[in-house]
Chains A and B, each alone.
Chain A
Amino acid sequence: MEENKPKYEVFVVNTAQYYTLHTKKYGMRKKWQAADPNEIRSFIPGTILEVFVTPGQEVVAGENLIKYEAMKMQTILEMPFTGIVKEVLVAVGDKVRKDQLMILLEELPE
């Protein structure tokens, strides 16, 4: 009988430790991370139509960064703060997933 026992995992609720099994969906959950203001990510899956900036470029808050099409609607992403474009990770024609990193920014040096 002993060897038929399932392998329990330790599971903590309110500092108490319980021995139990995990579910498949519990194993699939993603660890939460705070949003990084320097990362421009896609908020909906789509296709890149235009990239307005190049790496190293200084961009003023409100200027256009990327135009992309999703669900038959064109959307323009704007610069959230005045800073420098560090990296551009997408090109015209690329298909982006939701939450894909497209542009990396950097604050202006003091």
Chain B
Amino acid sequence: MSLKRNILDLRRRKKEAQQGGGEAAIGKQVAMGKKTARERIKAILDDNSFHEYDLFVEHTGKDFDMEKKVLHGDGVIIGTGTMFNQPVCIYAQDFTVAGGSLGLMHARKITKIMDHALKMRVPIIGINDSGGARIQEGVNSLAGYGEIFYRNTEASGVIPQLSVILGPCAGGAVYSPALTDFVFVVENISKMFITGPSVIKTVLGEEISMEELGGALVHSEITGNAHFYALSEDECFEQIKKLISYIPWNNTQKALRFPTQAPTFPVSIEDIVPSDPHYPYDIRDIIKAISDSSDFFEIMELFARNMVIGFGRIAGNTVGFVANQPMYLAGVLDCDSSDKAARFIRYCDAFNIPIVTLEDMPGYLPGVDQEHAGVIRHGAKLLYAYSEATVPKVTVIIRKAYGGGYIAMNSRHLGADFVYAWPTAEIAVMGPEGAANIVFRKEIDEAENPAEMRKLKIQEYKDKFANPFVAASKGYIDEVIEPLETRARLIHSLEISENKVDKRPTKKHGIPPF
């Protein structure tokens, strides 16, 4: 008696279960411009590396005639595979099966693969495409979400957690991505919100489209919930692969080291910054001018554009760049930019990625809206994150470093290991204009020509204080360097910091101003 019959039976069962919601549902998915869950997993992982688990899991719903329904895999696919030949865990909700709705067994599958990822210390990638809780399963669905959130929190800072939003992600479901490290969205496909347009219309009479309420661009530009914005699923998968190449597999490892490559940026670093501190430039050009292959992978490109964050490599090693962007809002610090940078700094610190800070900012954004939005509380996050971080921290002051912003942007006083300043740096308690008005108020008021006197006094203040040498004379900055020396200095500083040990008092955890 051969085993052939059993093997053929297994193959038939697998084929049927792998069909998910069946041809009609898959047709609908494709018509929406979406790939199927299985196609997505294959596109992200190395070729032929996917191994699935729990294909035959069935739902346990008993009410509302659910017991008569077959939901293949209960609407989610889980498994393991490799990326760049290194192991990862992955799950993908299958919208073709009951709209990818989350019931008890669906959640159990997700928590199973999450537990696996945490135990094995490998990254977890979650692909979200779900109509939300499976209403027929009632509180069991809520239990499922809660168990996922708990694991997201437990795994936070131990393994990288990536959330890919490739469909609706509504209600409680949004909080799993929000708890993870990086959220990917795709134009026209991703939709995230707590209450949808129909509820808003019923309750408030306000009409808004899903796209305007919680589309990819809204979360990339306005809310800051998303980190990576793509125009197509394929572009999104490329972003995932690129991100994975920069980060370590868990918090006990370092990111993969690449061969050192010289920058290829066509403009000399001396010619990027205008000599007049009132004129802007693109800080990303400076990052490119000092990074290997001039390759800079920006995170949250469209949100709080006055602060730039992202990964690059210096001498083959991943570094996290945090930089003020004079091109937008003069590079001021505000609620959103502090929030954006603080979270990124904590990511880098958790995953052993050195932080390079490039500073050129005139202070905090003035205004009632900022004060009332809690710029004190949000700004404090930045101080907390820098002070708390024990990874190597290097700062280069390009131009303006005024007031509280000077302290906040990884100053010596918050524990920077190396602080450099270009000769164009202006390190002072405030900009020359504001300072002159206060310090020389009497002289200006009593002068025959106050406007002329103000000009004179601004210049006097500039000459005396708005330069890097006052701070250098006190040892607050380590060296004033020429722009062309920047890359070599950074390479050396990071080399020196390779085995940095920075012990902090033992505590359960701090209490950052969330």
Could you tell me which A residues sit within 8 Å of B by CB distance? 8, 11-26, 28-30, 32, 45, 95, 97
Contact = CB atoms under 8 A, between A and B. Distances in A.
A1 to B, nearest CB: 12
B306 A18 contact: no
- Identify the 9 closest CB pairs spanning chains A and B, nearest first: A14-B434, A18-B330, A32-B368, A95-B205, A16-B433, A20-B330, A13-B362, A16-B431, A15-B433
7 contacts: A8-B280, A13-B363, A16-B431, A20-B327, A20-B328, A23-B328, A25-B221
Contacts of A11: 329-330
B272 to A, nearest CB: 14
Contact of A29 (B206, B363, B369, B431): B369
Contact of B305 (A16, A17, A23, A32): A23
A18 B430 contact: no
A18 B222 contact: no
Contacts of A8: 279-280
A14 B433 contact: yes
A18 B324 CA distance: 14
Contacts of B22: none
Interface string B209-226: 000000000000110000
Nearest to A95: B205
Given A11-B330, A16-B362, A30-B369, 11 more contacts: A14-B363, A14-B430, A14-B434, A17-B278, A18-B279, A19-B279, A19-B280, A20-B280, A21-B327, A26-B329, A32-B369
B329 A22 contact: yes
Contact of B306 (A12, A23, A29, A95): A23
Contacts of B328: 20-23
B372 A32 contact: yes
B332 interface: yes
Contacts of A15: 431, 433-434, 437
A24 B434 contact: no
B204 interface: yes
B349 interface: no
Nearest to B434: A14
B369 A25 contact: no
Contacts of A12: 366
Given A11-B330, A17-B278, A25 B336 contact: yes
A14 B402 contact: yes
Nearest to A28: B222
Interface in B351-404: 362-363, 365-369, 372, 402
Interface of B: 203-206, 221-222, 278-280, 304-306, 326-332, 336, 362-363, 365-369, 372, 402, 430-434, 437
Nearest to B305: A23
Contacts of A45: 203-204
Given A18-B280, A20-B326, A21-B327, A95 B204 contact: yes
Nearest to A71: B203
Contacts of B402: 14
Contacts of B368: 32
Nearest to A18: B330
A101 B432 CA distance: 45
A51 B19 CA distance: 58
A20 B430 CA distance: 19
Contacts of A97: 204-206
Contacts of A28: 222
A92 to B, nearest CB: 15
B364 to A, nearest CB: 8
Contacts of B366: 12-14
Nearest to B369: A29
A24 B363 CA distance: 20
Contacts of A24: 221-222
Nearest to A21: B328
Contact of B365 (A13, A19, A95): A13
B329 A20 contact: yes
Contacts of B306: 23
A3 B430 CA distance: 34
A32 B373 CA distance: 12
A33 B434 CA distance: 26
Contacts of B206: 97
A101 B328 CA distance: 36
A13 B430 CA distance: 10
Contacts of A26: 329
Contact of B222 (A17, A20, A25, A95): A25
A13 B336 contact: no
A23 B430 contact: no
A31 to B, nearest CB: 8
Contacts of B204: 45, 95, 97
B278 A16 contact: yes
B444 to A, nearest CB: 12
Given A8-B280, A23-B305, A97-B204, A13 B222 contact: no
A15 B329 CA distance: 14
Nearest to A11: B330
Contacts of B203: 45, 95
A24 B220 CA distance: 11
Nearest to A94: B205
A23 B278 CA distance: 18
B463 to A, nearest CB: 16
Contacts of A32: 368-369, 372
Contacts of B433: 14-16
